[in-house]
Chain A
Amino acid sequence: MAALLHAPYCADQATQRTVTVLENVRLARDTYRVRFGFPELARRITPGQFLMLRLAGGADPLLGRPLALYDAVHDPLAAQESPPPSTAQTSMSSQSPTAFQSPVASQSPVEGQAQTSFPSSASSSPAPNAVDVVYLVKGRMTSRLMHYLPGQTLDVWGPLGNGFPPQETDHLVMVAGGIGQTPFLALAAEHLGLRRYGEPARQVPRVKRVTFCYGARSAGYLAAVEDFERLGVEVKIATDDGSRGRRGFVTELLRETLAEAGTVGSRPRVVCCGPEAMMERAAAIAAEFAAPCQVSLETPMACGIGICFTCVAKVRDDQGGWDYKRTCVEGPIFDAERIEW
C-alpha cells in the first residue's frame, strides 16, 4: 500500500518567510510574473520544484497556492532590502479582516519591462536572491495577487517537490499547455549550460537542442515566449484558434518533433506540464516513439509539504498495482508510464 516516507520525499530544504514583492508585471492575458526577495529559496530551488505562496494575514483564501519556479534571479533590490520581520513576531494576534489589503493595492501594476537576464557563463553570476513565479489569474488568490505592488508582503515556503532530475539526452523536448509553461524556462537554461540551480549547484548534462512545444487558447495568452527564444530554445506554438502558430493541439507539435528527431537519429526526452488530458496524450505520443517522458502533475494541493495527503495521484508500482502518491513530496514530477490516468 502507501509507500514509506523516505528522506528525499520530505520538504527537507524548505523554509518559511514573509517576503517583499519586488515586481509584479503582466506578461500576457491574465498572466503575471511576481518577483520577491528570498535568498535561501533562490539559492536552493531547482527547475520543476515549487513553492507555496499565501497572501499574509487573512483567512480568505485560507490556504497557500503551489506555484512552480519560473526563475531564480539576482535582483539588486532584494540585495538592498533588509529582511522584513517575519509575520510571526509582529502579528501573532488575529488581524482585522481587511488588514491584508493595502490601501494602494487596487492600482494595477504597470506593464513591466523587467527582464530575466542570463549571464553568458554560469559561473560569473552573483548568487540568486530573488524568485520569479508566473501565474494565471483564475481564482480568489491570484485575482488579488495581480494587484499587489512592490513593497507588499507575501508568505512563502519552499523549495518543495522533487523537481526534474537531470535530463540525459541530446534533445530535450518540453511540452506545455497554457500556464504549464512555467517550469520550463529554468529547465532549459540549466540544460543549455547557461545557468545552474540548487545548493550546491547541481551538475546536469549539456543538451544540444531544446525544443519547446507551447500551446495556448489564443495568441494573447502566450507568455514570455521571448524569454525562451533568448536562451536559444526552438519554440513551436499552437493555439486553439490559430491566432498564432499552428491551429490545434500542442501534442501534434510533439508528434512532429519526435518524428523529425527519429529521422536524424537523436534520442529525445520529453517533459510535459499542462492540463491532464494534454499530458496523457503527450505521454501516449512519447510512448509511441519510445521516448522517455516525465510529467509535472498539477493535482490540487492544500499544504504542499506532504502533511495533508490531499494531492494524491494514482501511481503504478513495480508489482503491477497502484498506490496513491502525494504529488507534493513524491512528485510533482513522475515518469509518465507510471501514471494511472
Chain B
Amino acid sequence: MSITAPPCNLSVQLGRLKLANPILVASGTFGYAREMESLVQLRKLGGILPKTVTRFPRAGNAPWRTVETAAGLLNSIGLDNDGVDEFIRGHMPYLATLETPVIVSVAGKTADEFVELARLLDPVPGVAGLELNVSCPNVSGGIDFGADPAACERVVASVRQVTQLPVLAKLTPNVTRIADVARGAEAGGADAICLINTVLGMAVDWRRRRPLLGNVVGGLSGPAIKPIALRCVHQVAAAVKTPLVGIGGISNLDDVMEFLVTGASAIQVGTANYFDPSLSERLVDALPGALAEAGVASVVDLVGTLRRNG
C-alpha cells in the first residue's frame, strides 16, 4: 500500500541531541548494528543504540538466557560484552561510518565507572550521545542507581561534568514511584529520559522444580509490558520537562503513536527487532501516514497531546 502524505517534519530534539526522526532501536536488541545491515537500511533510523558496554569484559550469565512468555520475552543475558576498550577498537570504526546517530549505552557498577566510561567514549568519533543504563536488572549494582532518585541524580550529574555529549538516562519500572527517579535524572542534567527497561520476572518449570533462567530471575520485555511502559511515560511526563523516549513492547505503528501521544518525543524498538527485524525501518516509512491521519504536520505537534477523559 503506498502512503501518500503531505510533507511532514519527523525531526525531534532530545535536549542537545537532534534526531531526523523519532524511531530508534533499543540497546541490547540490535547487536552492534552491523548484524542488521542486510535487514534494515540503517541510515533511515532516527538513532541506534548498540548493546550496553561496560568498563571491563563480561562473559554474561549462564544459559538459559531467555524464555518466551505470553506475548513477552524474559531475559537474563547479563551484559555479555567485550568491554569498552574492545568496543571502541572493534565496533566504533564501523558505527562511525553510519549516517545515523549512534548513542552508546553504558553501564557501570559505580558512579566512578560511569564517569570513566563517559571519559573514554567522549572523544571517540561517531559517538553522538550516551545512554546511561542505570536499570539493568541482570547485574548487581545497576538497578540501584535507577531505584534511588538521589543516586540517579548523582550519576547523571557526574557524567554531565565530564562530557558535552547528550546524556540520556534509561530508567527501570521496578520502583514504586518512577516519577521521583525521573526528577533525579532531570536534576542531574539529563538530555532525555528513556522509559522503560525490563520488568523483573521469573519463569519456572514445575515438573523439574527449577527456574528456567540460568540467573533465576530476569527482565520481561515485549508486547506484554507495553501498558506498563505507557503508564510510566504518562506519569513521568506529568513530573518533568525533560524529553522522554518511550520503550516497551513497541511492535507496530499504533504502538509508536500511542507513546508519542502519551508524551514520548521519540521511541525505541526493542524486542520486536528479534521477531520482526525490519520493523524499525518500516515504521520510519509509515510514520508520515499516521501523522497525516492524526492531522498533524510534525512529530513535535503530536507529542504529549493525550486528552483527559470526561
List the interface of chain A (C-beta within 8 A of B): 1-2, 4-5, 7, 10-16, 54, 59-64, 85-86, 88-94, 155, 157, 299-300, 302-303, 305-310, 312, 323-324, 329
B263 contacts partner chain A, Cβ-Cβ < 8 Å: no
Question: Which chain B positions have C-beta within 8 A of A329?
Answer: 35
Given A303-B273, A303-B277, A310-B65, verify A62-B31 contact (CB < 8 Å).
Answer: no
- Please measure, in the bound complex, the distance between the C-alpha atom of A5 and the C-alpha atom of B59, giving whole angstroms: 15
- Please measure, in the bound complex, the distance between the C-alpha atom of A7 and the C-alpha atom of B90, giving whole angstroms: 12
Contact of B75 among A61, A94, A308 (CB under 8 A): A308
- Please measure, in the bound complex, the distance between the C-alpha atom of A302 and the C-alpha atom of B66, giving whole angstroms: 7
Q: Are A12 and B59 in contact (CB under 8 A)?
A: no
**Besides A312-B65, A329-B35, 6 new A-B residue pairs in contact (Cβ under 8 A), listed by A number:** A1-B83, A2-B82, A5-B34, A14-B38, A88-B278, A302-B66
Residue in A closest to B69 when the chains form the complex, CB atoms: A62
Question: Which chain B positions have C-beta within 8 A of A11?
Answer: 35-36, 38-39
Q: Are B57 and A2 in contact (CB under 8 A)?
A: yes
Residue in A closest to B274 when the chains form the complex, CB atoms: A303
Closest beta carbon of chain B to A238's beta carbon, Å: 28
B259 contacts partner chain A, Cβ-Cβ < 8 Å: no
B141 contacts partner chain A, Cβ-Cβ < 8 Å: no
Q: Are B277 and A302 in contact (CB under 8 A)?
A: no
B71 contacts partner chain A, Cβ-Cβ < 8 Å: yes
Contact of B71 among A15, A16, A59 (CB under 8 A): A59
Contact of B1 among A62, A85, A305, A310 (CB under 8 A): A85
Q: Are B75 and A1 in contact (CB under 8 A)?
A: no
Given A2-B59, A90-B1, A302-B73, verify A307-B275 contact (CB < 8 Å).
Answer: no
Q: Are A15 and B39 in contact (CB under 8 A)?
A: yes
Contact of A62 among B80, B83, B222, B255 (CB under 8 A): B222
- Please measure, in the bound complex, the distance between the C-alpha atom of A11 and the C-alpha atom of B35, giving whole angstroms: 6
Q: Are B254 and A94 in contact (CB under 8 A)?
A: yes
Residue in B closest to A300 when the chains form the complex, CB atoms: B64
Closest beta carbon of chain B to A275's beta carbon, Å: 16
Interface size class of chain B, counting residues whose CB lies under 8 Å from the partner chain: 35 or more
Question: Which chain A positions have C-beta within 8 A of B283?
Answer: 92
Contact of A324 among B28, B51, B80, B275 (CB under 8 A): B80
Most chain-A CB neighbours within 10 Å: which of B35, B63, B68, B252? B35
Contact of B275 among A7, A15, A54, A85 (CB under 8 A): A54
B99 contacts partner chain A, Cβ-Cβ < 8 Å: no
Question: Which chain B positions have C-beta within 8 A of A93?
Answer: 252-254
Q: Are A1 and B36 in contact (CB under 8 A)?
A: no
B29 contacts partner chain A, Cβ-Cβ < 8 Å: yes
Contact of B80 among A10, A302, A309 (CB under 8 A): A309
Given A1-B82, A2-B80, A62-B73, verify A89-B254 contact (CB < 8 Å).
Answer: no
- Please measure, in the bound complex, the distance between the C-alpha atom of A310 and the C-alpha atom of B283, giving whole angstroms: 26
- Please measure, in the bound complex, the distance between the C-alpha atom of A94 and the C-alpha atom of B290, giving whole angstroms: 13
Q: Are A14 and B68 in contact (CB under 8 A)?
A: no
Question: Which chain A positions have C-beta within 8 A of B37?
Answer: 10, 12
Q: Are A5 and B71 in contact (CB under 8 A)?
A: no
B160 contacts partner chain A, Cβ-Cβ < 8 Å: no
Given A11-B38, A62-B71, verify A305-B277 contact (CB < 8 Å).
Answer: yes
Question: Which chain B positions have C-beta within 8 A of A92?
Answer: 252-254, 282-283, 286
B246-278 interface code vs A (CB 8 A; 1 in, 0 out): 000001111100000000000000010111111
Q: Are A59 and B223 in contact (CB under 8 A)?
A: yes
Contact of B273 among A7, A12, A307 (CB under 8 A): A307
Q: Are B57 and A61 in contact (CB under 8 A)?
A: no
Question: Which chain B positions have C-beta within 8 A of A308?
Answer: 28-29, 66, 75, 77, 274
- Please measure, in the bound complex, the distance between the C-alpha atom of A323 and the C-alpha atom of B254, giving whole angstroms: 41
Q: Are B31 and A306 in contact (CB under 8 A)?
A: yes
Question: Which chain B positions have C-beta within 8 A of A60?
Answer: 70-71
Q: Are B35 and A5 in contact (CB under 8 A)?
A: yes
Q: What would be 18 A-B contacts, judged by CB atoms less than 8 Å apart?
A: A2-B59, A2-B82, A5-B31, A5-B34, A7-B34, A12-B38, A14-B39, A59-B71, A62-B71, A92-B282, A300-B64, A300-B66, A305-B36, A307-B273, A307-B274, A308-B66, A309-B60, A310-B65
- Please measure, in the bound complex, the distance between the C-alpha atom of A74 and the C-alpha atom of B285, giving whole angstroms: 33
Residue in B closest to A97 when the chains form the complex, CB atoms: B71
Most chain-A CB neighbours within 10 Å: which of B28, B29, B80? B80
- Please measure, in the bound complex, the distance between the C-alpha atom of A7 and the C-alpha atom of B34, giving whole angstroms: 8
Given A1-B83, A60-B71, verify A306-B66 contact (CB < 8 Å).
Answer: no
B112 contacts partner chain A, Cβ-Cβ < 8 Å: no
Residue in B closest to A301 when the chains form the complex, CB atoms: B66
Contact of B57 among A1, A94, A303 (CB under 8 A): A1
Q: Are B31 and A307 in contact (CB under 8 A)?
A: yes
- Please measure, in the bound complex, the distance between the C-alpha atom of A62 and the C-alpha atom of B226, giving whole angstroms: 14
B147-188 interface code vs A (CB 8 A; 1 in, 0 out): 000000000000000000000000000000000000000000
Closest beta carbon of chain B to A160's beta carbon, Å: 10
**Which residues of chain B from 61 to 106 have any CB-CB distance to chain A below 8 Å in the complex?**
63-66, 68, 70-73, 75, 77, 80-83, 86, 90-91
Q: Are A312 and B71 in contact (CB under 8 A)?
A: no
- Please measure, in the bound complex, the distance between the C-alpha atom of A324 and the C-alpha atom of B60, giving whole angstroms: 8
> Which 6 A-B residue pairs are closest in the complex by CB-CB distance?
A1-B57, A307-B31, A303-B274, A88-B282, A92-B253, A306-B35
Question: Which chain A positions have C-beta within 8 A of B32?
Answer: 5
- Please measure, in the bound complex, the distance between the C-alpha atom of A11 and the C-alpha atom of B37, giving whole angstroms: 8
Question: Which chain B positions have C-beta within 8 A of A310?
Answer: 63-66, 75, 77
- Please measure, in the bound complex, the distance between the C-alpha atom of A309 and the C-alpha atom of B59, giving whole angstroms: 11
Q: Are A89 and B282 in contact (CB under 8 A)?
A: yes
B196-221 interface code vs A (CB 8 A; 1 in, 0 out): 00000000000000000000000000
Most chain-A CB neighbours within 10 Å: which of B38, B57, B255? B38
Question: Which chain A positions have C-beta within 8 A of B252?
Answer: 91-94
B58 contacts partner chain A, Cβ-Cβ < 8 Å: yes
Question: Which chain A positions have C-beta within 8 A of B2?
Answer: 89
Q: Are B276 and A1 in contact (CB under 8 A)?
A: no
